[in-house]
Structure 1
Amino acid sequence: MTIDRRSLLRTSGVAAAGALGAAALSSTARAAGFTAPAHGPHSTGSGPTDGVTRTLLQEHPSPAEGWETVQTLVQIPRHKESGRHSHPGVEVGYIVRGDVLMKFDDRPSIRLRTGDPFFIPSGTIHNAVNVGKVTTMMLSTYVVDEDESLVTTY
């Protein structure tokens, strides 16, 4: 199956809704709460993470044995947050749209705006809070231990 990744980003993942079904998600991504776009919000109710979606774009074995590379599109509605979490490897990201306050347990928070890259070291507990006026879109690529869950929540 071929998916035009540029179209996917331009349409906030909606164009791929039919092409990326739940079967396309790895067990690692499913265990981490990632959904295909057609499956909607990551959580329900009226909490701070309501409406946050994490869409798996691609997943591949890393050149380093025992590691995998996972790329996602994270969308955080206005006044919502990703929730405190960490990853068993590095996260390299880019703010496609919006404004985020990236909070850390072990260092000062940083403000990220459209066009800003970011890097989060392995095991670092963090929380992305949408402080802007639009739904934030973040492109995140992880290089993680293939035997561990992609996300650990706190």
Structure 2
Amino acid sequence: MKKKNNLLLVAITIIGLGIFLAPGSANAQTGVKRTDLQKHDLNVPGHEAVQATIDFEKGSAFGKHTHPGEEVIYVLAGKLQYEVEGQKPVILKAGQVLFIPAGTVHSAKNVGNEKAVELATYIVEKGKPILTLVK
């Protein structure tokens, strides 16, 4: 029975990740929507750049996760709180930036009174999932 429960948990995680990763999709549970803007191979073998906007409805959050490369964040609107492993939580407003090293566990939450939007640029290993959820 334990094995069945573990398989169910894996299936639910994969489905949830698929919803978040699908371009233009919304994750109704968290109120977070990602819109892909561009994706290009880099001159560094096996790496690519992916750029997307991430919309956070008021009070929404995206839990702990990692990326197979660096993430560069620019807040376009609203106020977002980021929790990055090994650092104190930080709140950023429109016009502020954040760098997240490869493989670092982090999360984001809209702590403002309106919708918040970030521009996320990922410099990642090609062929790997752009995001891995962490318990």
- Shorter-chain-normalised TM-score: which range? 0.7 to 0.9
Name the structure 1 match of 2:112.
Answer: 132
1:151 aligns with 2:131: yes
Name the structure 1 match of 2:22.
Answer: 35
Name the structure 1 match of 2:6.
Answer: none
Counterparts of 2:42 and 2:18, CA distance in 1: 19
Alpha carbons 1:100, 1:112 under 8 Å: kept: yes
Alpha carbons 2:56, 2:117 under 8 Å: kept: yes
1:64 aligns with 2:38: no
Root-mean-square deviation (Å): 1.6
Name the structure 1 match of 2:35.
Answer: 55
CA drift at 1:32: 7.6
Q: What are structure 1's unaligned runs of at least 5 residues?
A: 1-29, 45-49
1:104 aligns with 2:91: no
CA drift at 1:147: 2.7
1:73 corresponds, among 33, 53, 58, to 53
CA drift at 1:111: 1.1
Percent of aligned positions that are identical: 31
TM-score, normalisation: structure 1: 0.71
- Higher normalized contact order (CA 8 Å, seq sep 6+, divided by chain length): 2
CA drift at 1:88: 0.6
TM-score, normalisation: structure 2: 0.81
Counterparts of 1:147 and 1:115, CA distance in 2: 31
Task: Flag the structure with higher strand content.
Answer: 2
- Change in 2 beyond 3 A, CA 1:32/1:105: farther
SS of the residue corresponding to residue 33 of structure 1 reads: helix
